[in-house]
Structure formats: structure tokens, C-alpha cells
């Protein structure tokens, strides 16, 4: 990979930096943000909420709210490298970008498989931020082995009647819409007979119940379908071919540079905590090996960025990263845990305090980051699944 920007890419990077200089206030950038899986959780001030109302509109003026989307759908139509540059520059500034299920999964999958009516109805509302989406995939007995799902969708006239349960549904309690996969042919092999639906979360028969985690935070939910009638027009693509749509959706989940930059920033914050606070200096004085730990974490975060650069260079050449994406996911998830463990070693007695208000300081952020990090090797495909993919597709080992 050539690490240097081309002249055109250099111009684009300068444009992004100028935009951030002009539009992203320093006081917003300085607002405390909890580290970990739900990275924006700490930004909840009225000032931040007011800022976000206008931020999406400003990004949409450039097509940057959905940079990978074609311009005809309201996106930026950016090249792979331009998308990479945008994500990298925003991440270094800790600047928020619209995203989530709608921008990253539902919209792109709809562009590939949706009817013109579906695209016209849903895509503009994703771009504008009017509709928030959730992903109704995992079930109590179908997580890593998602094709074992048992939620049923039975055709009845102009509707499908859906019964079943989904779990670990992020943001379902605030979602307007959801992408749902359900079994429409129970007699077919498990990877077949599955269909993909675009679901209005206000549909009668859909019940969302909170799953409160050990941080007393409510991000996940379980969702029950009890004779919920979903119109046949909400079917995306062909009936019984939903598994292939779902794998398309999951392909959009494999990014990386923003997480890599986030890890580099966390490593820098940990070093600053060790150098600039009395408690941090005392921890390092008591455990000199912490200097080595901090150095290891900083090096590992940089290695993560190099893995991301490899993936983006492949995409820029028109290649599809497969095992490489699994390598990036595995490395990133495990690094999340190692960073959190190093933070706990620095935190000392502060590691006992998990109150969210206290997390506005770096010292108070560490124990909450540690608890968040335990989910990283699970969400988005477990570390065990990633190792299997690497073993079979990367090393050519036989299926165990």
C-alpha cells in the first residue's frame, strides 16, 4: 500500500479538515465520552443534543452522512480511499458521524435488493435521520449459528404473520424500523427458507423489553413477535432467499479505521493519565511494569491501523477482504480487552467505582470501559467464529 495520499486525495483530506475546523466546536470535542462499545454514551449534555440536530444537516450538504451511498440516493458517492480519509479525520477529532443500522446495513442492502418503491420510501428518511433502525437477527438459540433461527413468518393473504423472539437488539427501544430475518419455509435446509423483511417497529404484536447490562445501561433489548402482521410489500428481495441478503448486510459491518483511531486515542489518554495525574503516577511508581504495558498497547493500536490500511488497499483495488476482515475484527476485539485491562491496572482503587457520573473523568471511565470491553469479543461475530474463518479461509485448514 502507498501510505501517501494522491494529489486528489490530499485535496479531499484538506477539505475535510477545513470543514471540521469551521463546523466542529472545540467545546463539543472536549465533552467527555465513555470509551468502549457504545462510544457516544457519555455525550448527553443539552448542548451536545442541540449541536447534533444541525450536524447531520451540515454533513448531508456534502453527502458525508452516508459517504458510501450513491449520490442519487443522497450519499456522497465517495471513492473507497475518500471514505477512509473521511472516517480517519473524523475519528482523530472525535467528531460524531451519523450511522448505525440504517446508514450502514439497512440502506446499502436495500440498494442492492430493494424495489424502487422501497428505496423511494425508506432511503430518504435514513439520510435525513428521521428513521432510526435496529437489526432483528440474533435469537436466544441462534447467535453465532444465526441460520438456526426459529422465528416464523407465515404468508396469510397480503401479510406475513410473524411469531418468535429476537435478542440483543441494540436500540430497539428507540427504533422506528427494523431489518428482520425470519423462517418462511421450515422444511428447507437451515440456510434456505429464510426471508428478509423491513419492519415498522410500531406494528401491533411487537413488544420490546429492555435488557439492562451490568453498567445499569439500557442499549440491548429482547423483542417478541406475537401474531405481528407485516405487509408482503415489506419483504426485501425474494422469499426464502433472505440468508443471502443477511450475509450482504453483514459484509457492510466490517470496517475498522474509526475503531483503530479510537484505540490509539485511548492509548494516548492512558499515557496522559499515567503522567499527568497523581494517582496515575503513583500506580506507575508502584508497578513499573505498567510502562511496558502502556508501550505495548500503543504499539498494538498502531498495528491495528496497519491491518485497516491493508483492508482499505484491497478494497481500493476492487478486491473483497474476507479472512482479512476477520483478522481485523479479531485483533480489534482482543485489543479492546487488553486496553481495558491496562486501564484497570492504572485505576487501582478507582476501579471499584462504576457510577456513570464519575465516568466523566478518565479515572472514572476505566472500570466502565473494562465492563464494556467484555462484549467486544462477542458482538459482530465472536472471536471463536473469526478464528474459524481465518483457519479455514486463510490457512486452508479442514473444518473441525
Distance CA 11, CA 3 (A): 15
- What average pLDDT does this structure show over 317-334? 89
- What average pLDDT does this structure show over 21-41? 71
7-98 and 133-242, same CATH topology: no
| CATH fold of the domain at 133-242 | Butyryl-CoA Dehydrogenase, subunit A; domain 2 (2.40.110)
Interval 104-156: pLDDT, tens = 889 999 999 999 999 999 999 999 888 999 999 999 988 778 889 999 999 99
Judge: domain 257-394, CATH 1.20.140.10. yes
Q: Would the pLDDT of 258 be above 70?
A: yes
End-to-end CA distance of the chain: 34
HSE-CB at 321 with a 13 A cutoff on CA atoms is 23
User: Phi and psi of 179, rounded to 5°?
Assistant: -100, 125
Q: Which of 31, 239, 253, 300 is catalytic?
A: 253
CA–CA distance from 174 to each of 169, 200, 201, 208 (Å)?
Answer: 11, 12, 9, 10
Distance CA 300, CA 298 (A): 5
128 sits in which H/E element: helix 116-128
The structural domains of the chain, with segments of one domain joined by +, span 7-98, 133-242, 257-394
pLDDT for position 17: 97
Least confident of 6-15, 67-76, 131-140, 200-209: 67-76
Highest-confidence range of 151-165, 201-215, 273-287, 352-366, by mean pLDDT?
Answer: 151-165
pLDDT for position 365: 81
- Is 226 considered catalytic here? no
Question: Would you call 32 helix, strand, or coil by DSSP?
Answer: coil
Interval 279-298: pLDDT, tens = 889 999 999 999 999 999 99
Q: What is the CATH number of domain 7-98?
A: 1.10.540.10
- What average pLDDT does this structure show over 317-324? 84
Least confident of 104-118, 142-156, 250-264, 330-344: 250-264
Amino acid at each position: 500500500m502507498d501510505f501517501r495520499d494522491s494529489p486528489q486525495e490530499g485535496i479531499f483530506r484538506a477539505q475535510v479538515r477545513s470543514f471540521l475546523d469551521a463546523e466542529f466546536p472545540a467545546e463539543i470535542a472536549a465533552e467527555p465520552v465513555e470509551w468502549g462499545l457504545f462510544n457516544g454514551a457519555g455525550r448527553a449534555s443539552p448542548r451536545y443534543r442541540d449541536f447534533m440536530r444541525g450536524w447531520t444537516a451540515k454533513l448531508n450538504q456534502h453527502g458525508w452522512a452516508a459517504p458510501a451511498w450513491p449520490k442519487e440516493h443522497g450519499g456522497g458517492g465517495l471513492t473507497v480511499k475518500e471514505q477512509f480519509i473521511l472516517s480517519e479525520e473524523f475519528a482523530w477529532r472525535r467528531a460524531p458521524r451519523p450511522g448505525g443500522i440504517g446508514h450502514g446495513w439497512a440502506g446499502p442492502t436495500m440498494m442492492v435488493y430493494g424495489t424502487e418503491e422501497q428505496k423511494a420510501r425508506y432511503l430518504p428518511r435514513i439520510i435525513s435521520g428521521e428513521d432510526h433502525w435496529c437489526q432483528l437477527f440474533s435469537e436466544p438459540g441462534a447467535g453465532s449459528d444465526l441460520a438456526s433461527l426459529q422465528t416464523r413468518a407465515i404468508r396469510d393473504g397480503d401479510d406475513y404473520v410473524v411469531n418468535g423472539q429476537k435478542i440483543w437488539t441494540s436500540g430497539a427501544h428507540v427504533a422506528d424500523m427494523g431489518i428482520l430475518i425470519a423462517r418462511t419455509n421450515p422444511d428447507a435446509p437451515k440456510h434456505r427458507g429464510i426471508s428478509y423483511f423491513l419492519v415498522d417497529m410500531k406494528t401491533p404484536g411487537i413488544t420490546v423489553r429492555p435488557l439492562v447490562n451490568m453498567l445499569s445501561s439500557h442499549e440491548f433489548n429482547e423483542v417478541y413477535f406475537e401474531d405481528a402482521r407485516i405487509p408482503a410489500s415489506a419483504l426485501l428481495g425474494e422469499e426464502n432467499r433472505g440468508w443471502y441478503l443477511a450475509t450482504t448486510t453483514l459484509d457492510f459491518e466490517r470496517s475498522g479505521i474509526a475503531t483503530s483511531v479510537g484505540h490509539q486515542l485511548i492509548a494516548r489518554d492512558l499515557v496522559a493519565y499515567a503522567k499527568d495525574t497523581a494517582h496515575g503516577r503513583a500506580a506507575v511508581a508502584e508497578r513499573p511494569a505498567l510502562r511496558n504495558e502502556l508501550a505495548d498497547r500503543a504499539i498494538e493500536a498502531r498495528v491495528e491501523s496497519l491491518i485497516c490500511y491493508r483492508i482499505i488497499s484491497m478494497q481500493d483495488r476492487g478486491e473483497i477482504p474476507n479472512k482479512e476482515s476477520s483478522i481485523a475484527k479479531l485483533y480489534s476485539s482482543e485489543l479492546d480487552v487488553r486496553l481495558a485491562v491496562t486501564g484497570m491496572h492504572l485505576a487501582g482503587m478507582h476501579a471499584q467505582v462504576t457510577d456513570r457520573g464519575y465516568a466523566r473523568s478518565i479515572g472514572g471511565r476505566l472500570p466502565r470501559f473494562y465492563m464494556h470491553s467484555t462484549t467486544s469479543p462477542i458482538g459482530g461475530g465472536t472471536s471463536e467464529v473469526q478464528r474459524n474463518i481465518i483457519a479455514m479461509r486463510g490457512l486452508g485448514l479442514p473444518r473441525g
